[in-house]
Amino acid sequence: MCGIAGVIGGGADVRRMTAALAHRGPDDERFHGDLLGFRRLSIIDLEGGAQPMRGCGDLWLVFNGEIYNHRELRARLANHAFRTRSDSEVILHLYEEKGADCAKELDGMFAFAIWDPKAGTLFAARDRMGKKPFVYRHEGSRFHFASELGAIEGDRRIDREALDHYLALGYIPAPLSIFEGVRKLPPAHTLRFDGERVRIDRYWEPRLEAVRESEEAYAEKVFYAMDRAVAKRLGADVPVGAFLSGGLDSSIVAGLMSQRGPTRTFSIGFGEKRFDETPWAREAAAHFRTEHHEARVTPKAADLLPLLVLRHGEPFGDASSLPTYLLSKMTREHVKVALSGDGGDELFGGYLRYSAIRKMAGLRKWPAPLVRAGGVLLRPWKTNYGERVGRLLARPGAPLGELYADLVGIYTAPMRVALGLPGAVETFLTGPFQAGGADPVAAASYADLVTYLPNDLLAKVDIASMANGLEVRCPFLDREVVDLALRIPSDLRKGKRVLKRAFRGLLPRSILGRPKQGFGVPLSEWLRGDLRPMLGDSIGSLSKRGILETAEIRRLFDEHQSGAADHRDRLYLLLVLELWAQKFLDPVPAAG
């Protein structure tokens, strides 16, 4: 796990770019001339895995991630001469043999670039699910890339389309970035730069192909697929631990780890009981007999926001990045690698919104005026969830894809138009929803798998963990597990039905029977209390920038503070936007 950077064609300083990634790789720093830079977090082959790495010819590699099937690939490449035990070298030899198709063979999390000086080409690839990032700027004969947006040099003009996506979703999806001219390579894509043009190709796409089998048969397959996924992610030359929230997914991962030997687990909690999962985490840790560590989050955690904004390099509105950062910081004090439960909800139907969209599909049998009347009754509810459900009930005849986009959205299209933005983001979500098929639960979970998971959850975990020099691995996103889950009919995945059956012999009953609890923070209380001064200052500063229309900003702030409405998510996005503007748009004060 590392930080990579590169400059082809000049126009930027690769050493400055690499220095901006020092937190991702605190163990080593190396360069290939003024072209490639590398910061290393040593996990496998601590002595021999240094980069940039040269192949048998003139190829040079920089690679961020882990390849779990590198031993199997090495055996298949027996005709190649290997100099190290590292998974990095396997990529080089595989590229020498298969070219761009090498990405299809790799099982792991990765973002890498291979420079071929003879051909004058750069080849890059990103893993299937989007666990590792790759951002780049292309201007004519110049091509710059890095692991994080903040390391990319050049003009910094706001991309209004990206800003529209940010306020709608809370994140900016690939290929967009907040900066004009800077792009993110999407998951499961390769890139080739030939000195002038950039070509991007998709090499894999998740496919829903439901195959009817018994629940028991699928439960057995899920158990063994997850057990293999956990086992392959324990491979490291450094200590490995596990995040443990006390929820179903993280408990499965920790439980499977504990069957293979002594396990260290880590959890984070809050003083507010309705957000605190540490009692459940303690129960799971006691059941699995792990060495358990925990810490608490207070409103003071908001002091970390400027640092997280700097690491993301663009506005990122998921407030759970704060506890994720603190969890990673505590975990890094004990281990270098941690396993997480990310992906379980998307693959096995864990989110409450899946139930909501299924019910909305069922309400189509009811008279529309009656459904709208229910929406009117819900509108005054001063809760975030009540408002969203009320919006859905007000449009009972709308396509389900549009209702799903409205359900998961933060700022509605009319709100974004009032802020001076295009307000046309919903198609980003409705396309994947439609690709998920006619079943509303399968469609929503598929849409989350290809939008929310890579652009929000995995981006959050990558930034928060790598800011602390911690590698996080996700067994649920194993290639075998993903392919298997997408074959299971949605009625067996709904509410994690088949997952619970698969692990009923491993988990305590209390964990199996727990309702879904998100990894959230008490934002509403914080924004009316400890964070109110910071929010007020940020709203005032943002209003003067001219980025957004001020009247709408003020309305949201006043309604939240008076208690007339709950705009916590919307105001948090504005707070982060202003902190980002201070870091990346304001001029740096002159020294002295």
pLDDT band at 423 (very low <50, low <70, confident <90, very high): confident
Judgement on whether residues 147 and 33 belong to the same structural domain of the protein: yes
Q: Tell whether 279 is covered by a domain.
A: yes
CA distances from 452 to 174, 276, 387, 409, 433 (A): 11, 24, 21, 11, 12
- Written in H, E and C, the secondary structure of 12-58 is CCHHHHHHCCHHHCECEEEEECCCEEEEECCCCCCCCCCCCEECCCC
- Tell me how many domains the chain contains: 3
Nearest to 203 by CA among 117, 116, 122, 98: 98
Kindly compute the dihedral angle of the four CA atoms of residues 539, 544, 546, 547, in this order, to the nearest 10 degrees.
Answer: -30
> What's the CA gap between 423 and 387, in Å, rounded?
19
| Domain end marker among 175, 202, 229 | 202
The catalytic residues are: 2
Judgement on whether residues 68 and 175 belong to the same structural domain of the protein: yes
Whether residue 315 is preceded by a cis peptide bond, meaning omega within 30 degrees of 0, is: no
Judgement on whether residues 138 and 257 belong to the same structural domain of the protein: no
Stretch 503-527: mean pLDDT: 81
Q: Name the pTM for this structure.
A: 0.94
| Domain end marker among 173, 202, 231 | 202
* Residue 560: Cβ within 10 Å count: 21
Judgement on whether residues 38 and 134 belong to the same structural domain of the protein: yes
Q: Provide the pLDDT for residue 591.
A: 46
Helices assigned H by DSSP within 333-439: 344-348, 352-362, 368-378, 384-393, 400-408, 413-418, 427-435
Judgement on whether residues 195 and 322 belong to the same structural domain of the protein: no
Angle between helical axes of 440-450 and 427-435 (0-180°, round to 10): 120
Nearest to 50 by CA among 94, 13, 86: 86
> What's the CA gap between 80 and 75, in Å, rounded?
10
Q: Tell whether 117 is covered by a domain.
A: yes
Q: What pLDDT, in 10s, does the model give residues 537-590?
A: 998 899 899 899 888 888 888 888 888 888 889 999 999 999 999 999 987 554
Side-chain-side CA neighbours of 581 within 13 Å: the count stands at: 18
pLDDT band at 592 (very low <50, low <70, confident <90, very high): very low
- Please tell me the least confidently modeled range out of 45-49, 305-309, 446-450, 459-463: 45-49
- Per cent of the chain over pLDDT 70 is 94
| Domain end marker among 141, 174, 202 | 202
Judgement on whether residues 498 and 548 belong to the same structural domain of the protein: no
Q: Provide the pLDDT for residue 48.
A: 60
Whether residue 414 is preceded by a cis peptide bond, meaning omega within 30 degrees of 0, is: no
Judgement on whether residues 161 and 94 belong to the same structural domain of the protein: yes
Q: Domain range holding 159?
A: 2-202
